[in-house]
Structure 1
């Protein structure tokens, strides 16, 4: 039976100009989304006294968003695989995200703010994997790493760097409620632009497509390995971002200004590796690049642990420790699952990896890391980062290479 294709879809491959537009527009869209994801943490010092929140309630609001995010990471790409309406789902999720962001600024207390943030998570969580699904469906296989890397760099690294400056600046000047609208209102504009300028990608599901989702995915070797790598990747990156500032101040003895410079450097390093690693993986392969990125992380973590009070070494080690999380995120969450899964489950595979990584790596593991730090001291942080990095490298050896150019060269040889 012929493959089902969206009615409005042209048979010709998309032009290079359209691919550039696609990457730029969708990258900016998820960048606006990630500006909001960090907004509550940045605005919490303003919100907490007004609503009289205790620290547990602050944590519950943060957790509400994370739960919604994790569920949506799987549900939205899965719905795209089943219905073939990836563009429509992306537009709806972006619009709902915008309304939820605006409603966060209209909250009256703890319950309404928690509800708004959970709704935000349901809208936001599926946007990155759904975005990568559309990009990988439309871009030529030989440029897939470049395209996803650029989308990730724009949306998950570069634009979020503006968060502390923009969100806190607006909050301080006009109030925290207005700061939530910084991402919400542009989101509505982006939803309209995507509807007008982006086409629906090909849909590969037909009436005789095999049923099932998770079962068939877990039969694929690369999916099983990639899920483990996704959890480790999120563990490392979330631990570095969550506990790194405390380590630098309380253990390494940095002042607040130097710590702030180091964490800003982490963001800048993230931008670099988020672009370069997927780009290089097109030519040299996915496996060696993700291995190399986490080898750099291990070196950085050991520099932090063995610095013996040298602030420059700790500073440099902190920057290097960010290489793995930033450089492998798009490869592990999107490119490798998408290239390994059956055609009708590509979006589902990306969402499944993102959801598991979010729940285990960003949700559960930081709690365990915090418990370990309470028991053994924050000095354990770089050793944990190094251990996660080594484990990541070892597990990555079990992957089967998926980069089209590398696979073709090996087949020719």
Structure 2
């Protein structure tokens, strides 16, 4: 079988898989205005629900990602994870209190944690150099954008409006089981491309301490902390902000969230593709700076018709996620360390940006109004922009150009 055939097949399966992770994860944000009325929940509860899922995602991603690098069958871990998070997502529809909802979302976070590091480590190894950034961007950003933020809002809001919010959770179980079957049938455990950095014979198993000696990995961890703060704060509170502060209807809110999803999907592959040609670092800096404007658009633009195109143009951050969370670390360390590195970056980022920040934002919103969360989000992406200046470039094409330019100057 030709490598491109398997590369494309793996890309499609991982695209569907990680996209559905975010369909389940973001479901709570879109359904919260419906859930809060029945269970009598407030912004603090929403922040704690988001934070708890992120905390468990962080711990699970870091530990199970590291565990997967030590095992032959990453594929089996991935299948178990997909079945488990699908089950706990469906069980969220059975809750009768905040505590039971919190417990089910926590278990869902445990199951979802290893999906990104495992799927991206498999994809990075199987991708040809000229397509690695694009492939990883399609899975890391475009897939959750399309499935989790374009398809999910209208589908979930329609089900919740017509049949109740509980039915929206129940509906997730069938696609989840189908995805697990696709992974079982079409994904291999190993398929490394020859250009990937290889660990010398006798190299010790990957460890967190060895990874933290690498400047790029440390910077990616820090960028992850601030960028996930930007993302989780926006995605958790924007639906409620649009309905309670802006006074938009559920349908209008769904349309704007859908616009965010389209932007997520489009910028996800555009930024990654541009980084294959022009470098990871300059694209990360440019589009992170643009992402800082998105929460300001939500805060200060009152017309839904004006807000729609502006949020599309400025919601570029999710396209940047692929660069610091997957592509740069995958091109920095050996294949035997990729899942560990990605799990570390995602785990620490989720711990700070996904667990700590939303809880603070929720209490701040109850004390000072929902507008404060937009300032918190903007601060996160701005800090990520500043940190990106210190990264070392990893794009193969850009490094080759720089090397050729250096040789030309020397001659």
Instruction: Specify the TM-score bucket, using the shorter chain as the normaliser.
Output: 0.7 to 0.9
- Cα distance 1:352–1:380, how it changes in 2: closer, same or farther (>3 A)? same
2:268 to 271, 274, 280: 274
1:220 to 205, 214, 224: 214
Question: Unaligned stretches of 5+ in structure 2?
Answer: 193-197, 406-411
1:320 to 301, 307, 313: 313
- Cα distance 1:73–1:319, how it changes in 2: closer, same or farther (>3 A)? same
Which residues of 2 match residues 11-410 of structure 1 at below 5 A?
15-44=3-32, 47=35, 52=39, 54-55=41-42, 60-107=48-95, 112-160=100-148, 161-202=150-191, 208-211=202-205, 213-245=207-239, 255-256=248-249, 259-300=253-294, 316-323=309-316, 325-370=317-362, 383-410=375-402
- Cα RMSD of the aligned pairs, angstroms, is 3.1
Deviations 1:161-218 (A, max 9, x none): 2222222333444444443232222211211221111111258789933245111111
- Cα distance 1:262–1:95, how it changes in 2: closer, same or farther (>3 A)? closer
Question: Unaligned stretches of 5+ in structure 1?
Answer: 1-11
Aligned 8 A contact 2:88 2:107 in 1: yes
- Of stretches 279-288 and 29-38 in structure 1, the one that deviates more from structure 2 is 29-38
| 1:5 corresponding residue in structure 2 | none
Post-superposition shift, 1:229? 0.9
In 2, Cα distance between the equivalents of 1:81 and 1:405?
28
The DSSP-based 3-state class of the residue aligned with 2:172 is helix
- Cα distance 1:226–1:100, how it changes in 2: closer, same or farther (>3 A)? same
- Cα distance 1:179–1:369, how it changes in 2: closer, same or farther (>3 A)? closer
Deviations 1:103-126 (A, max 9, x none): 334556555544332221111122
Post-superposition shift, 1:336? 1.0
- Higher RCO (C-alpha under 8 Å, 6+ residues apart): 2
In 2, Cα distance between the equivalents of 1:191 and 1:371?
38
Post-superposition shift, 1:71? 1.4
Deviations 1:243-294 (A, max 9, x none): 445665677x564465554333222211111110011111111001111112
In 1, Cα distance between the equivalents of 2:360 and 2:309?
26
Structure 1 length as normaliser, TM-score?
Answer: 0.84
Structure 2 length as normaliser, TM-score?
Answer: 0.84
The DSSP-based 3-state class of the residue aligned with 2:117 is helix
- Cα distance 1:266–1:219, how it changes in 2: closer, same or farther (>3 A)? same
Deviations 1:308-360 (A, max 9, x none): x787765554333311x212011111111111123321111111111112121
